[in-house]
């Protein structure tokens, strides 16, 4: 009986996300309207190279009310079109703010695009803060997350940065750009308009009050401040790029032995087939950084209407037309 219950439960959990293929041979596993899902639009792992441990979530805070608590947003009704997109069919309502998400994951690339829209349905100007982010790692599993570089070339995040690259420092190297990254590295493209990104917070706690890094540097919250006129919409466009592990072939798993573990290890034996392939140390870190630079200079606007592009507030000089 218990075996049946466990099997049924595992069957439900296995469908807690929708998987979309990505150009690295892995996948994006999106928290949408699947059974057992949070319907938050977050990325569960990003594939068997584990570049993420839940990333792409949103938290919101209203500034002009007495209740300034951070609200974790979920229940978007994210519907998959069967190809490369998710769109909200039941946007989230938080007070007088209606929030919808659009996700685009081109199958031939290693990046994913979020467009998050905030509509003020009140008759007064409102100011909100929005934290976007999550966990780009899982504490020391794969190595603690370390900022490898930013658009400024520094290994510390500033609100003026247009992108940030992080790696999972398996060997505690002093130069994180040289790797290796234990689990896959990732880069986060934040936009090019100054003054919209206002702080970097700890997404695990309250990113509007707790500064990054917190206890676990994997949890990053990029905080944007938006002023929205009555009846108007302000949107944030961000990108996530992922890379493969520089220490193992993802067809196996991260080769960490667990001694006297109380639960079954989630890790597997390293893949040792004749075609095993492990990227050179630093190569995937450099790769995601290069893609981030290109997206910051020329963002992928495919599928966005003229109105949708006009509502994006964290970018300047967007192309007038897109296909």
DSSP string, 98-113: EEEEEEE--TTSSEEE
Please compute, for residue 277, the number of CA atoms within 13 A of its CA located in the half-sphere on the CB side: 7
pLDDT of residue 89: 94
Residues paired with 133 in a beta bridge: 57, 221
More confident residue, 101 or 251: 101
Q: For residue 178, what is the DSSP state?
A: G
pLDDT tens column, 284-293? 999 999 999 9
Cβ 47 vs Cβ 250: under 8 Å = yes
Indicate the Cα dihedral angle 264, 270, 271, 272, nearest 10°: -130
Residues 6+ apart with CB under 8 A from 317: 192
Q: H or E stretch including 144?
A: strand 144-150
Phi–psi pair at 50, nearest 5 degrees: 50, 55
pLDDT of residue 1: 41
How far, in Å, are 41, 132, 215 from residue 204 at the CA level?
Answer: 17, 12, 9
Could you give the CA distance from residue 136 to residue 61 in angstroms, rounded to a whole number?
A: 22
Query: Two tokens at 92?
Result: 């989230």
Residues 6+ apart with CB under 8 A from 305: none
pLDDT of residue 261: 43
Rg (alpha carbons) of the chain, rounded to whole number? 20
Instruction: Find, among 219, 227, 177, 173, the residue nearest to 198 by Cα.
Output: 227
Which pLDDT band holds residue 258 (cuts at 50, 70, 90)? very low
Burial of 232 (0-12, 13-18, 19+ CB in 10 A): middle
What is residue 293's three-state secondary structure? Answer: helix
pLDDT tens column, 52-97? 999 999 999 987 655 667 889 999 999 999 999 999 999 999 989 9
Could you give the CA distance from residue 110 to residue 29 in angstroms, rounded to a whole number?
A: 13
Q: H or E stretch including 285?
A: helix 283-297
Which pLDDT band holds residue 255 (cuts at 50, 70, 90)? low
CATH number of 16-310: 2.70.98
Could you give the CA distance from residue 63 to residue 227 in angstroms, rounded to a whole number?
A: 10
**Cis check: omega of the bond before 213, within 30 degrees of 0:** yes
pLDDT tens column, 134-191? 999 988 888 999 999 999 999 999 999 999 999 999 999 999 999 999 999 999 999 9
Query: Two tokens at 236?
Result: 């944030």
Q: For residue 46, what is the DSSP state?
A: S
What is residue 316's three-state secondary structure? Answer: coil
SS3 content of the chain, % helix, strand, coil (to 5): 10, 35, 55
User: Quick one: residue 221, left, alpha or beta (phi over 0 = left, psi -120 to 50 = alpha)?
Assistant: beta
DSSP assignments along 210-229, one per residue: SBSS-SSTTEEEEEEEEEE-
Per-domain boundaries in the chain: 16-310
């Amino acid at each position: 009986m218990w075996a049946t219950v466990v099997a049924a439960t595992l069957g439900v959990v296995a469908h807690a996300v929708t998987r979309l293929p990505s150009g690295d041979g892995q996948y994006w596993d999106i928290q949408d309207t699947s059974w057992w899902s949070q319907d938050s639009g977050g990325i569960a792992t990003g594939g068997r190279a584990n570049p993420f441990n839940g990333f792409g979530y949103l938290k919101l805070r209203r500034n002009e009310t007495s209740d300034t608590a951070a609200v974790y947003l979920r229940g978007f009704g994210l519907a998959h079109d069967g190809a490369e997109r998710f769109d909200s069919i039941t946007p989230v309502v938080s007070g007088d703010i209606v929030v919808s998400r659009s996700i685009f994951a081109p199958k031939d690339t290693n990046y994913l695009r979020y467009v998050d829209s905030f509509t003020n349905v009140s008759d007064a100007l409102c100011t909100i803060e929005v934290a976007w982010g999550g966990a780009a790692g899982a504490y020391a599993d794969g190595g603690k997350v370390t900022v490898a570089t930013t658009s400024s070339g520094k290994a510390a995040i500033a609100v003026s940065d247009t992108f940030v690259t992080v790696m999972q420092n398996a060997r505690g190297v002093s130069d994180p750009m040289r790797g290796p990254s234990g689990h896959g590295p990732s880069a986060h493209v934040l936009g090019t308009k100054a003054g919209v990104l206002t702080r970097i917070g700890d997404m695990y706690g309250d990113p509007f009050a707790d500064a990054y890094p917190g206890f676990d540097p994997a949890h990053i919250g990029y905080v944007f401040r938006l002023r929205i006129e009555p009846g108007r919409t302000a949107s944030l466009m961000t990108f996530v790029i992922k890379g493969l592990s520089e220490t193992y072939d993802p067809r196996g798993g991260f080769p960490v032995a667990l001694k006297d573990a109380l639960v079954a290890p989630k890790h597997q034996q390293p893949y040792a087939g004749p075609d095993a392939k492990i990227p050179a140390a630093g190569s995937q870190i450099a790769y995601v950084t290069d893609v981030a630079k290109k997206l910051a200079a020329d963002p992928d606007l495919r599928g966005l209407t003229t109105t949708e592009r006009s509502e994006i507030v964290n970018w300047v000089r967007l192309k007038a037309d897109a296909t």
